């Protein structure tokens, strides 16, 4: 009988998106195919400690997005570099003993959103530990997290994007009139390295401008000022690898596009993860066939531009004149029960469970491919 792959579901983290990650991890844990995989739950608390969680009670208030918490009364563990995925119990580390859930982990599924997880930091750690992992590598994770760098790459690749300006902490703050002249009004102010609309403000007036800058600087030392684009918000899910020639997915695939209609001022954190009525997800989006085709094509181009692998969600604006602008790419999109990424794939014929399986297979294939590369002369 074939041995089940041990999948380390890594979730939580130090990011402001910690609670989103908890919700995503719960959904992945519930949906993973137990006939093929043995899930191992590894939660990261807000201080950065890695905890081996019991399956029966790894989350507190799991069904309430407003009160959901990581159960921190668990053994503190660490991933040993160059250990082929061995997780060691720090409370008994005098002998380097493996945990009770022992045996090396075969592959890690890092359901981490935002800094300290989606930005290349954990990806680099897992590469040093010589263990396969789901999703984008170090480069694509870092590029996809930094919206300033991401938009520069899109611009240089000739992709259609909106106007923007980056501002670093300590730099001269431009006057509101100067920004309005360059970007129009209203504008969006957001941290450069953050997701899920955390720290984002929509600024209409001079009085709102400085408070919005201060709010964004609470989360990052670099912020982004973006023009407001009047248009429909569309999203497309991407799956695959540019190195995959054959295989079931046949390289990189894009899902049917979906549309978001938010009942909030914009598609905020609450609209995404807290308020079930905060936004309507229209799947598939009611757009002409040619528009849907172009969005799927652009999604693949965006995916390739930042050298992404595994999965991503690409967000767009569709303007009244029919033109399409790329907003951003999310290299570890939400997997919550109201998240767009898995819903789009379900509408495209790929179930939640099959999607998880496909991502794990892609992770293993990349690991094998990279292991064949020479590391010395």
Of all residues in the chain, the percent with pLDDT exceeding 90 is 69
Q: Which of 175, 193, 227 lies at the terminal end of a domain, its last residue?
A: 227
Residue 288 is part of a domain; what is its CATH number? 3.30.470.20
Confidence (pTM): 0.89
**Does 172 lie in the same domain as 152?**
no
Q: What is the pLDDT of residues 339-374, one digit of tens each?
A: 899 999 999 999 999 999 999 999 999 999 999 998
Angle at 299 between CA 297 and CA 305, to 5 degrees: 105
Q: And the tokens for 280?
A: 């309507």
Please check whether residue 276 lies inside any domain of the structure: yes
Q: What is the pLDDT of residues 29-66, one digit of tens each?
A: 999 999 999 999 999 999 999 998 877 678 888 778 78
Which domain does 246 fall in, by range? 143-160+230-371
Q: In the predicted model, what is the mean pLDDT of the chain?
A: 88
**Does 155 lie in the same domain as 272?**
yes
Please check whether residue 116 lies inside any domain of the structure: yes
How far, in Å, CA of 237 to CA of 253, rounded? Answer: 8
Distances (CA, A) of 366 to 75, 131, 303, 308, 372: 31, 11, 16, 12, 10
Please check whether residue 325 lies inside any domain of the structure: yes
DSSP 48: S
**Does 117 lie in the same domain as 72?**
yes
Q: Indicate whether 79 pLDDT > 90.
A: no
Provide the β-strand partners of residue 238.
254, 312
**Does 363 lie in the same domain as 234?**
yes
- pLDDT of the residue at 377: 83
Distances (CA, A) of 128 to 79, 114, 124, 138, 360: 10, 21, 6, 11, 19
Q: Indicate whether 198 pLDDT > 70.
A: yes
Split into its structural domains, the chain has a count of 3
Q: What is the pLDDT of residues 224-240, one digit of tens each?
A: 999 999 999 999 999 99
Q: Which of 227, 254, 270 lies at the terminal end of a domain, its last residue?
A: 227
Q: Which of 227, 260, 282 lies at the terminal end of a domain, its last residue?
A: 227
**Does 347 lie in the same domain as 289?**
yes
- pLDDT of the residue at 364: 96
Q: Which residue has the tokens 């019991």?
A: 54
- pLDDT of the residue at 363: 96
């Amino acid at each position: 009988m074939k041995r089940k792959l041990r999948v380390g579901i890594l979730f939580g983290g130090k990011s402001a998106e910690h609670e989103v990650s908890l919700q995503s991890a719960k959904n992945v844990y519930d949906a993973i195919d137990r006939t093929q995989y043995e899930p191992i739950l590894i939660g990261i608390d807000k201080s950065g400690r890695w905890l081996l969680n019991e399956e029966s009670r790894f989350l507190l208030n799991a069904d309430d997005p407003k009160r959901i918490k990581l159960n921190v009364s668990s053994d503190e563990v660490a991933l040993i570099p160059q250990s082929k995925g061995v997780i060691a119990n720090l409370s008994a580390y005098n002998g380097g003993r493996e945990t009770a859930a022992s045996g090396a982990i075969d592959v890690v599924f890092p359901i981490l959103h935002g800094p300290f997880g989606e930005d290349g930091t954990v990806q680099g750690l897992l590469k040093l530990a010589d263990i396969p992992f789901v999703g984008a590598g170090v480069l694509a994770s870092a590029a996809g997290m930094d919206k300033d760098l991401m938009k520069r790459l899109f611009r240089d690749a000739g992709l259609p994007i909106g106007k923007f300006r980056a501002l670093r902490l300590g730099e001269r703050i431009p006057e509101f009139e100067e920004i309005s002249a360059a970007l129009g009004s209203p504008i969006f102010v957001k941290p450069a390295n953050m997701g899920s609309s955390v720290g984002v403000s929509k600024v209409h007036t001079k009085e709102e401008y400085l408070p919005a800058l201060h709010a964004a600087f609470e989360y990052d030392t670099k912020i982004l000022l973006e023009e407001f684009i009047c248009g429909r918000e569309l999203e497309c899910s991407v799956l695959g690898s540019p190195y995959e020639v054959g295989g079931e997915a046949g390289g990189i695939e894009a899902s049917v596009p979906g549309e978001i209609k938010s009942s909030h001022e914009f598609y905020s954190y609450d609209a995404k993860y807290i308020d079930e009525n905060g936004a309507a997800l229209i799947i598939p989006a009611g757009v002409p066939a040619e528009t849907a085709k172009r969005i799927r094509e652009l999604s693949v181009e965006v995916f390739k531009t930042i050298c992404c692998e595994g999965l991503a969600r690409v967000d767009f604006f569709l303007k009244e004149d029919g033109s399409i602008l790329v907003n951003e790419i999310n290299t570890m999109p939400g997997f919550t029960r109201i998240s767009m990424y898995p819903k789009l794939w379900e509408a495209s014929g790929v179930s939640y469970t099959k999607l998880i399986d496909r991502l794990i297979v892609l992770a293993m294939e990349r690991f094998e491919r990279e292991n064949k590369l020479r590391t010395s002369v």
